[in-house]
Amino acid sequence: MSEEAEVLFEKRGVAGIITLNRPQALNALTLNMVRLIHPKLREWADDDAVQCVIVEGAGDRAFCAGGDIRALHDWGRAGDRSAIDFWREEYLLNTYIKRYPKPYIALMDGINMGGGVGLSVHGSHRVATERLTFAMPETGIGLFPDVGGTYFLPRCPGETGLYLGLTGARLKAADAIFAGIADCYVPSAKLGELKDRLAGGAPVRTALGEVAVEEGPAPLRDIQKDISAHFSKGSVAEILASLRADGSEWAVQTADTIEAKSPISTLVAFRQIREGAALDFEDCMKLEFRLTNRFATGHDFFEGVRAVVIDKDQSPKWNPARLADIDAAEVDRYFAPLGENELSFG
């Protein structure tokens, strides 16, 4: 397969269609894909014949399961700046999607995590199907919920975003809609009809209204009271203490889940999501770029990828190993400005 085939571009009627074309890798996002998508979006933004953009994933398993973390691991281990280039260019693409001047319709059909979230959640119209599995699982690989998680997670209802960011909880369509991560539910069998209507020039809202159906109950809504009670605390330690004191099966499992993640990732994610509530989108992306630069020179990202992706023993040896072993100054270091290396939108 040629590199160009990692992404397919098509103009159909008045629609520009982007297809992530790595189905064997669950359409995981590569640096090459970022470098193909961004200029095409700019081209179509200036093309009067293109009235909307549709983004989808090839195959029936995933929209995009995340960034190509194996490549990021290998680049980092080799001291190759391509890892930092990937994050920089990915974040600039995320920002461009957020500010895109035309309707941008993401068809979230199948697994959508990490880098895929950055290609979809910031679009103007986010379509969920019955096959959607959404998650931000980054703290489980020694990273943090990036690709704009700093912005959209604190804007989920109540403390839902912090819960998602610290636990990596997986959501289906109804929960994604409740959380504000998706806008409507369209059965996967209707996606072809939706694309035809959009390509034929139907207004996006009209086209969606003709194929969308009721998404059904959202289990996430049912635990909002519990999420708010525990995740509104002022620190990760207080959240865990509250969950342990609760003692319910859900609370204990939630505490166990958080404690299995990278301790430094967990503390960084807590502060990141709290701070993101008061930042605009560009400042959120600048903050994330600072964080990725620090994680790229740390221990836990490489250990997390080893345990989950390379050796697949699911037994990462985090360092520091416990939340209590990390002081505030260590967390502060991750958030320090990068000077002349800051993310620039110029």
Please write the tens of the pLDDT for every residue from 116-135: 999 999 999 999 999 999 99
The catalytic residue among 6, 68, 90, 146 is: 146
The span from the CA of 239 to the CA of 245, in Å, is 10
67 is catalytic: yes
The reported pLDDT for the residue numbered 4 is 56
Residue closest to 195 by CA, chosen among 125, 130, 132: 125
Rounded to the nearest 10 degrees, what angle do helices 281-295 and 328-335 cross at?
A: 120
298 is catalytic: no
Q: What is the pLDDT of residues 283-298, one digit of tens each?
A: 999 999 999 999 999 9
pLDDT of residue 133: 98
Token pair of 288, please?
A: 């994330």
From the list 110, 115, 149, 165, the catalytic residue is 115
> What is the distance, to the nearest Å, from the Cα of residue 196 to the centroid of all Cα atoms in its chain?
28
CA distance 177 to 128: 8
What is the reported pLDDT for 282? 98
Catalytic residue among 13, 16, 57, 67: 67
Q: Which are the contacts of 150, defined by CB distance < 8 A and separation ≥ 6?
A: 272, 273, 275, 276, 279, 284, 285, 287, 288
Global pTM? Answer: 0.96
Which residue of the set 6, 138, 215, 300 is catalytic?
138
Enumerate residue ranges in the chain where pLDDT < 50. Answer: 1-2
- Tell me if residue 115 is catalytic: yes
Task: Please provide residue 201's backbone torsions phi and psi, each rounded to the nearest 5 degrees.
Answer: 100, 5
Question: Do residues 90 and 29 make contact, with C-beta atoms less than 8 angstroms apart?
Answer: yes
* Amino acid 1: pLDDT: 41
Q: Please say if 146 is a catalytic residue.
A: yes
Q: Would you say 73 and 275 are in contact if contact means Cβ atoms under 8 Å apart?
A: no
Q: Are 178 and 218 in contact (CB under 8 A)?
A: yes
**Angle at CA 139, nearest 5°, toward 222 and 256?**
55
